[in-house]
Structure 1
Amino acid sequence: MTTTATGPQPLLGDRRSLAQQLTLKVFLLVPFAALIAAVPLVWGWGLTWLDVILTAVLYVVATLGVTVGYHRYFTHGAFKANRALRVALGIAGSFAVQGSIIFWVASHRRHHAYADRDGDPHSPWLFGTSPTALLRGFWHAHMGWMFSRDVTNYQRFAPDLLRDKDIRVVSRYFGVWTAGSLVLPAVLGGLISWSWWGALTAFFWAGLVRIAALHHVTWSVNSICHMVGSRPFASRDKAANFWPLAILSMGESWHNSHHADPTCARHGVLRGQIDIAARTIWVFERFGWAKDVRWPTPERLARRRVAG
């Protein structure tokens, strides 16, 4: 607990109501069930090239909304964005259905403040190092932590976003963006194919399955990337680089590099490390939508390299 001019500020804020808990479970478990159902469906019927294209496009948009927007911009201030880009990133990130901007940012800033220690909302190491403890920790880090009724204190970890009128509005209408994330693919699928069946399959694949896949890629950064991988840079925690997730996560799985230098706009800082999110920020910078980008320099990298 820290103390400020207004008194002590605990890690946790208000608890979720039972209605909020039920809603959360629906939006976490229904897409997951759709992902499981997708396995027999893909072998039999109900998947078209239109579904594949819509799924891929919306996956990229929502994933970049989280990686570029929620994470590198809103959480860590890796660059400055003009108003239009800031709002667009907030809405795109909301399409990932991982919580509102303020919820996500507060939780992630708390994660960095207490990474792999007591206070971290989703460390896989909180229960010990035995096989049973690590299995429990993996579940907790991957998705179990989100079923808790406790919510990170916004005033302590995201006061800047609470003061931002635009972001408060985007955050307040998170439910609208969530509905849009499901309705938009169905509308596009129906109009392009001019059929109800096209609307239904697009809703399933580009809506439910896409959201579930994105959920598990993001959650894998919390779980797998704190357990397995390489650690070429010094950090205070067990964050690791896990290359198999690099493309699907748009560069987020270069997690050791990120924890060693959290405000850096590029996570894949070594040769051959693909970082689609960083390239997207580079494009925004070229168009003049982003500025003061915190790109890595040889000096910064050298200071953080593990000796040996």
Structure 2
Amino acid sequence: MNEGASQPEGAIGSARPASLSSGSHGFARPPTILPRSAVRLDRRIAAVVTLLPALGTLAAIALWIGGHGPGAVEWIVFALFYFATALGLEVGFHRHVTHKAFKAKPWVRTALIALGSMGAHGPVNWWASTHRRHHSTSDGDGDPHSPHLSGEGFGGRLRGLYHSHMGWLFVGESTRPAGWEKYVPDLYQDPLVFRQHMAYYRWVAIGLVLPPLVCGLASRSWTGVLLGFLWGDMARIFAVSHCIWALNSLCHVIGRRDFHTTAHDRSRNSLLLAIPTFGQGWHNNHHAFPASAFTGLHWWQIDPGGLLVRVLERLHLVYDVHRPNAELIEKKRIAP
């Protein structure tokens, strides 16, 4: 069976890009301009990913106010799936696949990417391409989601915050500019990652089915199924998404800069976002040392994602773990 057969036509995970179909490094053919039909499809997917979880969360709160709130099972399912999908995105999609901050056993790689895919943030190769584009042009021309490129004044700042938070998902030049795949030729040549990229919609579906199934079986009622869907799916995706999107918006506007980075980059550190994003709130640290498996550079900088990497390293499930040395840290540090 064709791996792409179950994917919507023109969807990001539906086929290997033509520009990567020949040649050892994927540059044998020039990139093509994205068809309008694909742009429209991307916008529809963005609308579903942004609006449906928001509406579902509002419905969950309304039912709670009306006396049908979550019980212990729903809270546990919400927490477990938040924890699993956010860690999959941060440790799997981000630190492992995008930045190659560590290597891992095949089944660990598969599990991390599968969990990240359940977060409904897009297929792994597309996600990695977007993030690599962000690092290569951070807060400068070409950055897909900078809050600093939408004009001056109060109105410009508001437009920039909206664009960097979620508005960029509706802009074709930000989501899939011509040649976006040139940032990830290595991932299209990696059979395991490519299989997971193609299986994205399958993992999203599994992630949507499990919470209502667990809650329904636990309560033996359709009310449990509904609450599992609203809290374990909609509210969970809403919470994970907005915490991660806040890294693009708030963590490039508010917070402390401890390290020199690239010319235009304005990344900042935020303790408040470090906790729900499992360490990525130390965003200036990350932009200073993007290949590091750890974002917390001091004992008090909470980095749950880095803690998971340490545990997996102790268990010999991950290896070649990258850490910045003390000399490099001091070289990049901004003098008080």
Tell me, yes or no, whether TM beats 0.5.
yes
Kept in 1: contact 2:256–2:268 (CA 8 A):
yes
Structure 1 match to 2:92: 69
2:314 aligned residue? 286
CA distance in 2: counterparts of 1:155 and 1:211, whole angstroms:
26
Alignment-derived partner of residue 30 in structure 1? 52
TM-score after normalising by structure 1: 0.93
User: CA contact under 8 A between 2:259 and 2:333: conserved in structure 1?
Assistant: yes
CA deviation profile, 1:169-199 (whole Å, cap 9, x unmatched): 2111211111111111011111122222111
Letter in 2 for 1:83: P
1:38 Cα offset (Å): 3.6
Show the 5 A alignment for 1:91-240: 91-150=114-173, 151-152=176-177, 153-236=179-262, 237-240=265-268
Distance in 2 between the 1:112 and 1:301 partners? Answer: 19
Q: Distance in 2 between matches of 1:306 and 1:14?
A: 45
CA distance in 1, matches of 2:58, 2:153: 30
In the superposition, the TM-score normalised over structure 2's length comes to: 0.86
Q: 1:13–1:154: 8 Å Cα contact kept in structure 2?
A: no
Contact 1:51–1:206, Cα closer than 8 Å, also in 2: yes
CA deviations 1:43-75 (Å, max 9, x no partner) are 442311110000000000000000000000101
Q: Where does structure 1 lack aligned partners over 5 or more consecutive residues?
A: none
Structure 1 pair 253/114, CA: closer, same or farther in 2 (3 Å)? same
Q: Give the AA of the match of 1:74.
A: V
Q: In structure 2, do the counterparts of structure 1 residues 121 and 14 end up closer, same or farther at CA, with 3 Å as the change threshold?
A: farther
Residue 88 of structure 1 aligns with an amino acid whose one-letter code is: A
Task: Give me the whole-angstrom Cα distance separating, in 2, the residues matched to 1:225 and 1:218.
Answer: 10
Greater shift in the superposed pair: 186-195 or 96-105: 186-195
Query: How many matched pairs?
Result: 304
Contact 1:35 1:213 in 2 (8 A): no
Q: In 2, distance between residues paired with 1:108 and 1:209? A: 25
**Is the 8 Å Cα contact of residues 43 and 169 (structure 2) preserved in structure 1?**
no
* 1:233–1:304 CA contact under 8 A, matched in 2: yes
Say which SS state the counterpart of residue 230 (structure 1) adopts: coil
Moved more, 175-184 or 291-300: 291-300
- Which stretch shows the higher mean deviation, 107-116 or 158-167? 158-167
State whether residues 60 and 227 of structure 2, in contact with CA within 8 Å, keep that contact through their aligned partners in structure 1.
no
CA distance in 1, matches of 2:126, 2:159: 24
CA contact (8 A) 2:57 2:230 kept: no
Q: Residue 250 of structure 2: SS of its match in structure 1?
A: helix
Deviations 1:177-234 (A, max 9, x none): 1111111101111112222211110111011110011000000000000000000111
Instruction: Give the Cα separation in 2 of the matches to 1:98 and 1:268.
Output: 24
For the aligned residue pairs, the C-alpha RMSD in angstroms reads: 1.9
Moved more, 221-230 or 126-135: 126-135
Supply the distance in 2 between the matched residues of 1:65 and 1:14 (Cα, whole angstroms). Answer: 31
